[in-house]
Amino acid sequence: MMAATSRTNTKSQTVKAFVSVKKESGAGLLTNLVSGIVGKTLVLELVSEELDPKSNSEKTTRKADANKIQEKENEVQYEATFQLPAGFGNVGAVLVENEYPNEVFLRKIVLEGFPDGHVHLTCESWVQPKHDSPLKRVFFTEKSYLPTQTPSGLRRLREEELVLLRGNGEGVRKSSDRIYDYDVYNDLGDPNTNIDLKRPILGGSKQFPYPRRCRTGRKHSDADPLYETRSSSFYVPRDEAFAKIKQTQFDTTTLSSGVRAVLESFDAILTNTNLGFESFEDIDTLYKEGFHLPPLKGNGLNLLQRVVPHLIKAANDSQNLLRFDTPEAVQRDKFFWLSDEEFARETLAGVNPYGIQLVKEWPLRSKLDPQIYGPQESAITDEVIESQIIGYSTVEEAIKEKKLFMLDYHDLFLPYVSKVRKIEGTTLYGSRTLFFLTKEGTLKPLAIELTRPAMDGKPQWKQVFTPAPHSIGLWLWRLAKTHVLAHDSGYHELISHWLRTHCVIEPFVIATNRQLSAMHPIYRLLNPHLRYTMEINALGREVLINANGVIETSFFTRKYSMELSSVAYDQLWQFDLQSLPNDLIHRGMAVEDPNAPHGLKLTIEDYPFANDGLIVWDAIKQWVTDYVNHYYPSFDVIESDHELQSWWTEIRMVGHGDKFEELWWPNLKTPEDLIDIVATVAWVASAHHAATNFAQYAYGGYFPNRPTIARNKMPTEDPTKEEWEKFLNKPEQTLLECFPSQIQATLVMVILNLLSYHSPDEEYLGQYMEPSWAENPTIKESFERFSGRLKEIEGIIDSRNADSNLKNRHGAGVIPYELMKPLSRPGVTGKGVPYSITI
């Protein structure tokens, strides 16, 4: 339908408003609303776009009660009738007042009776009862306006709505509030409960810089007034909470407060939390027979069943099982995780494709202070490498030809080795892993260097391990790989996944709602990419990244996990490197080439994440380009948009305020600047997140392939006679004891399964057209091209996975790389790119 034009009506006219209200069982819209309460209703007021030409003030609104006319399974419809006087002009907004005793979820309003077509208002918002929130809610039509183009009759409402959303920075936030404000991460620890649960405050200091989170205003701790107290629920603005279907899905098949029940239940099941697996057959039993759950106290089993119903299987009247689906890779090849080829391939097509980088300098050297950490020189020498790089006589020649690659977790982790090693049941090294690009286009692991700094009166220890065909060398290589895989798992979860998507996007969510009006075109472009992120982040602070949460319980970094992510933010994160092309160039995985597809030449041609990611990036970039150029034909329109400039300033100065002085922040002066900024945000929230999230169970569901912790040091590091003999006699047992404990492995497997799960109402990239886009013919046409291109990408990726020449994505035991395929069915699928960070 076309929206009404700007023609002023010369006759009075009758207009009907049809209001759709979502029916929510057990939340908000209760039965007394559905059945109706005498004298209670929704009150609507129509607002003209125009000022009164005589008084130059806003025209009087037209008010009417909305009466229920129809009730459907999931929706209640209301109707209101208005008599608009001649000269009222176009309706630009509707004010809504809720006289019912409970909040209602308003989906949309459609106005009928205008000569030029219906007027649509998409609401998708909770409206609080009048007695709780006396201010009327305002909803604008689908037509987008830059601030200077705002119709005169709507300017005050546009400005006042933003003031309300910003709040005044005071008071405790209620669950019904719609206020967006900033705070530091001072709620991860819980010193009130136990001083040992105190954690550093992240953000607001040079020592621990960090992005900002949403302010909750909770009271501060008695034990330390700098900390917020923790509560049973974490505030997010009301419209950021999951829609009911997603909330149900989240409670039953994704993370929720019930995850705490998983932790508590496992504690009850396993009295010895350090108990490991005695054999690989025991590990296989998790998939074949399941994990037997004895009777739990209280409603422990009920909570487990509520959180992970698809994992809990009733065995008989007296027993229940926690049974895991066998990951596809294990089904294809039971011993896939032992393969060096798979170890290397997953750096290009696994769950963390952001770690691998080109070796640009030789010899390798640390940049850390040698007075503190020991000699800077790497123990990986020419002699170690040159015997393995077939076709190249020297390391320098291989580097010149761009044949050497590396996972470098040396300088980032080494300062934490002595801290982590003080914690029972975990250990840590700084590590470097070198790979060689073979003529077949695959990576071959060459060497792993593990380093312990000078500590506890001992000098620095470092050793290089290389692939070995048999005996002790083979087991040492497997143990070294276990340490590296734990390092990569921690880097992936804390940095590639949490920090670089969830955490850094939250300030964008806050600033977008505080500074861009709901009728601003950039708000409407970004909103699908920002929905639900704050809710999942709040739940993360509640059970995943908090003190004694899932990460601290199960990852090698333990209580230093979030502190380490702050160090990574400080040392590694730059906004201008978050677009895929810039990230690839920065890591040496691509160079600019105007004659190559995407303007880039990949250093490794068969790099599945980059191959597929670049075509998705190009599609996003083209869609954003079309959209931005329509609303911003010249640089002066960018510079005169005070909402847009305030948005970008607040993101840099407040949301990422600890880095506001960095010179790499892009300027916002031209349409090209805005295109790059918005495309980067859209990429991070959609495809980057998908690449690091939805294959977590596929690759980590069999935990020997991606252990999250290595519990014991290498047997060659200052061994006692007994330790060395034990390793020589039972090397397999040494490996099993290095793996995560039963409770760590099982808990992580549950979490990874839930994180990898697509909700039934997932909104995938390009699948759904926002109503405001459909309202504008030019934008509608651009979106349809975008959507069509994403459908083409599905076929392109299928064709690539069928190409037997692409070894990194095809072959025996290899899971086809599908993480960049835009669409997915519900469940754990290893594909699908949702618009936003929803899990």
Question: Which residue out of 410, 520, 689, 758 is catalytically annotated?
Answer: 689
Which of 226-240, 281-295, 609-623 bottoms out in mean pLDDT, i.e. has the lowest? Answer: 281-295
Amino acid at 328: E
Task: Tell me whether residue 537 is one of the annotated catalytic residues.
Answer: no
Q: What are phi and psi of 569, to 5 degrees?
A: -60, -45
| The pLDDT of residue 336 is above 70 | yes
Give yes or no for a contact between 757 and 254, defined as CB atoms under 8 angstroms apart.
yes
The pLDDT mean for the chain works out to 91
CA distance 71 to 58: 36
Give residue 23's pLDDT: 83
Task: Tell me whether residue 131 is one of the annotated catalytic residues.
Answer: no
Task: Tell me whether residue 497 is one of the annotated catalytic residues.
Answer: yes
Q: Which of 298, 427, 432, 288 is nearest to 359 (CA)?
A: 432
Give residue 248's pLDDT: 46
Give residue 286's pLDDT: 87
Question: Which residue out of 186, 546, 693, 808 is catalytically annotated?
Answer: 693
| The pLDDT of residue 440 is above 90 | yes
The percentage of the chain sitting over the pLDDT mark of 70, rounded to a whole number, equals: 89
789-814 exposure pattern, b = at least 16 Cβ within 10 A, e = fewer: bbeebeeebeebbeeeebbbbbeebb
Residue found under tokens 């004010």:
95
- In this prediction, residues 135-162 reach a mean pLDDT of 97
Angle at CA of residue 808, ends 608 and 384, nearest 5°: 115
Residue found under tokens 């209640």:
76
Residue found under tokens 């975008």:
786
Q: Which of 385, 441, 375, 453 is nearest to 414 (CA)?
A: 453
Q: What SS3 state is found at 34? A: helix
Question: Which residue out of 448, 495, 651, 839 is catalytically annotated?
Answer: 839
- Determine if residue 753 is left, alpha or beta; phi over 0 gives left, psi from -120 to 50 gives alpha, anything else beta: alpha
Give residue 290's pLDDT: 76
| The pLDDT of residue 246 is above 60 | no
Helix axes 504-515, 155-166, angle to 10 degrees: 140
Report CA dihedral (697, 699, 702, 704) to the nearest 10 degrees: -140
Give residue 40's pLDDT: 75
Give residue 417's pLDDT: 98
**Residue 318 pLDDT class (50, 70, 90 cuts):** very low
Give residue 11's pLDDT: 82
Angle at CA of residue 61, ends 59 and 62, nearest 5°: 135
Tally of residues, the chain: 839
Point out which residues pair with 137 in neighbouring strands.
96
Amino acid at 736: L
- In this prediction, residues 103-128 reach a mean pLDDT of 95
Q: Residue 653 has what DSSP assignment?
A: I
Q: What SS3 state is found at 99? A: coil
Angle at CA of residue 683, ends 681 and 687, nearest 5°: 140
Point out which residues pair with 436 in neighbouring strands.
404, 444
Question: Which residue out of 483, 487, 502, 529 is catalytically annotated?
Answer: 502
pLDDT top residue among 276 and 292: 276
Q: What are phi and psi of 75, to 5 degrees?
A: -150, 145
As a three-state string, the secondary structure of 360-415 is CCCCCECCCCHHHHCCCECCCCHHHHHCCCCCCCCHHHHHHCCCEEEEEEHHHHHH
Which two tokens mark 22? 């979502």
Task: Tell me whether residue 312 is one of the annotated catalytic residues.
Answer: no
Give residue 584's pLDDT: 98
Point out which residues pair with 452 in neighbouring strands.
461
Residue found under tokens 């918005």:
678
pLDDT top residue among 741 and 253: 741
Which residues does 98 contact at the CB level (< 8 Å), separation at least 6? 42, 104, 127, 128, 129, 130, 137
pLDDT top residue among 745 and 263: 745
Give yes or no for a contact between 553 and 642, defined as CB atoms under 8 angstroms apart.
no
Q: pLDDT digit string (tens) for 470-529?
A: 889 999 999 999 999 999 999 999 999 999 999 999 999 999 999 999 999 999 999 999
The pTM score is 0.94
Strand 42-48, strand 91-98: pairing = antiparallel
Which of 300-304, 398-402, 609-613 bottoms out in mean pLDDT, i.e. has the lowest? Answer: 300-304
Q: pLDDT digit string (tens) for 567-604?
A: 999 999 999 999 999 999 999 999 999 999 999 999 99
- In this prediction, residues 321-349 reach a mean pLDDT of 91
Report CA dihedral (193, 194, 196, 200) to the nearest 10 degrees: 30
Question: Which residue out of 483, 497, 520, 529 is catalytically annotated?
Answer: 497
Q: pLDDT digit string (tens) for 270-280?
A: 567 788 999 99
Point out which residues pair with 202 in neighbouring strands.
185
| The pLDDT of residue 204 is above 90 | yes
Give yes or no for a contact between 141 and 3, defined as CB atoms under 8 angstroms apart.
yes
Q: pLDDT digit string (tens) for 70-81?
A: 998 889 999 999
Q: pLDDT digit string (tens) for 624-643?
A: 999 999 999 999 999 999 99
Give yes or no for a contact between 451 and 465, defined as CB atoms under 8 angstroms apart.
no
Residue found under tokens 């709602």:
513
Which of 253-257, 441-445, 693-697 bottoms out in mean pLDDT, i.e. has the lowest? Answer: 253-257
CA distance 483 to 711: 9
| The pLDDT of residue 656 is above 90 | yes
CA distance 609 to 597: 15
Give residue 156's pLDDT: 98
**Rg, Å, the chain Cα set:** 29
Q: pLDDT digit string (tens) for 696-714?
A: 999 999 999 999 999 999 9
Task: Tell me whether residue 693 is one of the annotated catalytic residues.
Answer: yes
| The pLDDT of residue 717 is above 80 | yes
Give yes or no for a contact between 606 and 808, defined as CB atoms under 8 angstroms apart.
yes
Give residue 253's pLDDT: 36
- In this prediction, residues 385-408 reach a mean pLDDT of 96
Give residue 443's pLDDT: 97
Q: How far is CA 354 from CA 357, 550, 746, in A?
A: 8, 23, 26
Point out which residues pair with 228 in neighbouring strands.
220
Which residues does 299 contact at the CB level (< 8 Å), separation at least 6? none
Point out which residues pair with 213 in neighbouring strands.
183
Give residue 750's pLDDT: 86
Amino acid at 626: D
CA distance 494 to 483: 17
- The alpha-helical segments, DSSP class H, found in 730-776 are 731-738, 742-755, 771-775
CA distance 59 to 49: 9
Give residue 306's pLDDT: 46
Q: Which of 724, 427, 431, 402 is nearest to 557 (CA)?
A: 427
